[in-house]
Amino acid sequence: MLTIESLLRLKNYPLDKAFVELDRIQSFSKEEYFQWQEKKKWDLVKFHHNHNPLYKKLVGKYLPDSWEELPIVKKKDLQQNSDLWLSEGINKKDLHFGSTSGSSGLPLKFARDKFCHSLIWALILDRYQKVGISSSDFQARFFGIPLAKTAYFKERIKDFLMNRYRFVIFDISDKALDGFIQKFREKKIKYLYGYTNSQLTFARHLNSKGLTLKEICPTVTCSIVTSEQCTEEDKKFLEEVFKIPVYNEYGAAEVAFLAMTDQNGVRRLSNETVLTEVLDDEGTALPDGQTGRLIFTNLFNKAMPFIRYEVGDFGAIEKDPIFIQDKLIRLQGRLNDKVFLPSGKVAAGFSLYYVSKHLMSTLGYIQEYQVQQFALDKFLFLVVMDHELNDSAKKIIQTAFDTYLEKGLEIEIQKVNFIDREKSGKLKHFISHLKQNGK
């Protein structure tokens, strides 16, 4: 079996050093933590101002005297050639590269230094351990999967080696969900991990049959929902049907692991690695408990300037009087619609994530996108891009829909300058105009 710890060590990531640093930070008193955080954030700003041309351009020639005068960094500021946003003096072999899903409508390629990446994983493992999960436990993974042959088999092999069984969410019809139930009966799964909407759909299917997850899979102990909004009502329903605790994870791939509920149901911020701010529309800090724009600073990433970075979410925080990890008491995210198709297939709205990943790897210059469904076989694909939308690009988009949804769909493709956001500020990547159950 291959755990994330062994994988990181195999790739020469300094995970052991990260565990030591995490232990050190978690040993701080509140006063020691605030002193550390203040120095850490300004050391990071000075580093990027001196070594990152893009950040220096955003800030200006001279650093301001106060933190509040630093610019808010947005995704569009970083959607440039990597030679522009990578800090000088860092060898690419010492970096971890990745890309966002584009689930918020804005795909982004990013990098972080290997120590920063190791520290993020050290924190994730720490939070999981606190709710009784280890990296070697058998995981039921509610995610999609790349459908290109090489990427598909690579992911399947990775799942096997890392002790995971993947419940692919491209098809969540009743027949497919019956197959999910059978797999849970057969396998000794320890915990679930994956998209909120897909787990809710599975829970509703179990409930309709008068089943609970615990009775069909006695070994399961908890579930982690991620990537999509999970309301308190949703969490309560999942726990009633699954008969296990449900923990709510919140993160942004490019920034960090941002928060997770603990065993007491408190969603703790990742203060060990991230500085969180809540601002109003004018950029002024809001008091505890008030909802505003969530702004994050990764305190360790020297590769890219995720400093006062706006992810597009709204929320509220509350300072903890004892622990260094503050509370994320409110989060306005999004819950994806389901995609109903002519064949009778039902797919999670997050399936469009894999369409966006495919388009990023082939077209490479998509800035924003949104898919709207008007009939079972009629979709509107809105795209913001620098290049012209030629016949070749249209064919690539059509092929992506053929591959990840099904063939025979009518896709109207429109190049636009801007895509409207939801009231929360999020750009919802999929909107269904169909009535309930796809009618």
CATH number, residue 14: 3.40.50.12780
pLDDT of 231-248, one tens digit each?
A: 888 899 999 999 999 999
What distance in Å separates the CA atoms of residue 257 and residue 120, rounded to the nearest whole number?
A: 6
What distance in Å separates the CA atoms of residue 356 and residue 109, rounded to the nearest whole number?
A: 13
The SS3 of residue 295 is: strand
308 and 363: one domain?
Answer: no
Which tokens belong to 309?
Answer: 């970075």
Position 425 scores a pLDDT of: 47
**Domain residues for 400?**
338-438
95 and 42: one domain?
Answer: yes
Cα dist from 74 to 120, 149, 287, 309, whole Å: 21, 35, 23, 6
Position 173 scores a pLDDT of: 82
Model confidence, pTM: 0.83
CATH at 224: 3.40.50
Phi, psi for 339 (deg, rounded to 5):
-100, 115
Position 170 scores a pLDDT of: 82
321 and 389: one domain?
Answer: no
Cα dist from 63 to 74, 274, 298, 350, whole Å: 19, 21, 19, 41
68 and 165: one domain?
Answer: no
pLDDT of 135-174, one tens digit each?
A: 999 999 998 888 888 989 999 999 999 999 999 888 878 8
315 and 367: one domain?
Answer: no
262 and 116: one domain?
Answer: yes
- Please tell me the total count of domains within the chain: 3
82 and 154: one domain?
Answer: no
> Which residue in this structure is represented by tokens 């619609």?
337
259 and 112: one domain?
Answer: yes
Buried b (16+ CB within 10 A) or exposed e, 297-310: bbbbbbbbbbbbbb
CATH at 381: 3.30.300.30
Position 424 scores a pLDDT of: 42
Strand partners, 95: 113
For residue 349, how far is the Cα from the chain centroid? 15
Position 110 scores a pLDDT of: 93
The SS3 of residue 176 is: helix
What distance in Å separates the CA atoms of residue 289 and residue 46, rounded to the nearest whole number?
A: 31
The SS3 of residue 346 is: strand
> Which residue in this structure is represented by tokens 């050190």?
24
Q: Which residues of the chain are modeled with pLDDT < 70?
A: 82, 101-106, 333-336, 364-365, 421-427, 436-439
Which residue among 211, 244, 277 closes a domain? 244
For residue 322, how far is the Cα from the chain centroid? 29
Cα dist from 250 to 222, 227, 332, whole Å: 17, 7, 11
Q: Are 271 and 324 in contact (CB under 8 A)?
A: yes
Position 437 scores a pLDDT of: 61
Strand partners, 195: 226
104 and 152: one domain?
Answer: no
Which tokens belong to 80?
Answer: 């440039």
325 and 348: one domain?
Answer: no
Which residue among 244, 279, 311 closes a domain? 244
Which tokens belong to 423?
Answer: 């009231």
Among the listed residues 388, 422, 433, the one whose alpha carbon sits nearest the alpha carbon of residue 105: 422
What distance in Å separates the CA atoms of residue 351 and residue 170, rounded to the nearest whole number?
A: 6
Position 174 scores a pLDDT of: 86
Position 168 scores a pLDDT of: 87
**Sequence-ordered list of residues with C-beta below 8 angstroms from that of 80, at least 6 positions apart, any chain:** 54
Among the listed residues 303, 396, 322, 407, the one whose alpha carbon sits nearest the alpha carbon of residue 357: 396
17 and 96: one domain?
Answer: yes
> Which residue in this structure is represented by tokens 């002519």?
342
303 and 277: one domain?
Answer: yes
Which residue among 332, 362, 395 closes a domain? 332
